[in-house]
Amino acid sequence: MGQPVIRAERLSRDFGGKRALDRVNLSIGSGQVVALLGPNGAGKSTLLRLLSGALEPTEGSAYLFGERSRRLAPETLTRVSVMLDGQEPPRWATPKRLLDLQSEASPSFDRSLCERFLCSHDLQPGTSYESMSKGQKRWTLAALCLASSADLLLLDEPAEGLDPAARRELYDRIRDYANDRGGTIFVATHLIHDIERIADEVAILERGRLLLHETLEVLRERAREVEFPTAVEASNLDGELDWLGTKQERGGMVGWILIPDEGEEALRHRLAPEVEIRPVGLESLYFAVTAYSKEEVETDALQ
């Protein structure tokens, strides 16, 4: 599949002596829509800013299309379009002005496509940025990215403040962007349910660490919630299974696993009949994985 579009090697960043991103290794191929999930302060924006080259890593390296993010060749720079937190146009900027600027800056910018995106949301060419609603602002910025001719979009919470219909439309457009031109999109979001519908892969960050990076098809096929009536049976399997998280519950235990290669049927045979195995959605998995990691950190701190 050629070289990865995004690559991070032990990518780390400190702010005031505090580690915001901690030795993240990551590789993302072309044509993929990848969801970046994590609680506030987990390091999502920091990761996107490091990848885009807006920030210098404290340690490790970030590469886009095989080139170091901070030293992209001018041609490579035009292959990347970003929508980052805190990077906003001036207050007086109107959609018309933004389109003019974008067309000037990048000859391959698809102006008429962008105009169609904006029209569908009642954005008048003369509205100033400051008088737009929160949703209109996000939509405008997202439209500028989606109409660029970039091969990679780095988007930080593009759907924040959008109503459900606009969110659906935005995510549909993101999917089309990947399908129609083989574009890659790395998108940080809290809207797990929305992104689960169209994403190919998910990466979960917590306290600066990458806890999970997997394709959604593999998770649908192999991620399961396992409920043990008593904790004893679960402890017998401690070293045998690939635990993503566990939780004590009503005298028993609930765990989240990736089904081993032997398959679900074979695993079921090895477990007591009272043990329940059921599919698990991305949202539950997200809570399981992040809570588990938090617990580990707290346990380590106590010792």
Binding residues for other proteins, rule: CB under 8 A, are 31-33, 171-172, 175-176, 178-180, 193, 196-198, 200, 216-217, 220-221, 223, 276, 278-282
Q: Which residues have a Cβ under 8 Å from the Cβ of 29 and sit 6 or more positions away?
A: 1, 2, 4, 5, 184
The smaller minimum CB distance to other proteins, of residues 96 and 168, is found at: 168
Q: How far apart are CA 71 and CA 166, in angstroms?
A: 36
* Closer residue to other proteins, CB minimum distance, 50 or 223: 223
Looking at the Cβ atoms of 30 and 293, the one nearer to other proteins is 30
Alpha-carbon distance 13 to 57, whole Å? 5
What ranges make up the beta strands (E) of the chain?
A: 6-15, 18-28, 33-37, 59-64, 67-68, 80-83, 152-156, 184-188, 201-206, 209-215, 223-228, 242-249, 252-258, 276-279
- Min. distance of Cβ 178 from other proteins in angstroms? 7
The least CB distance from residue 61 to other proteins, in Å, is: 28
Nearest CB to other proteins, comparing residues 42 and 162: 162
The one-letter code for the residue type at 70 is R
The rounded distance, in Å, linking the Cα atoms of 48 and 113 is 26
**Which of 172, 238 has the CB closer to other proteins?**
172
Q: How far is the CB of 179 from other proteins (least distance, A)?
A: 5
User: From CA 23, how far away is CA 9, in angstroms rounded?
Assistant: 7
| Min CB(223)–other proteins separation in Å | 8
Shortest spacing between CB 193 and other proteins, in angstroms: 8
Pseudo-torsion of CA 152, 156, 162, 164, nearest 10°? 70
Unique residue bearing structure tokens 């649908």? 220
Residue whose CB is less far from other proteins, 93 or 288? 288
Q: How far is the CB of 281 from other proteins (least distance, A)?
A: 5
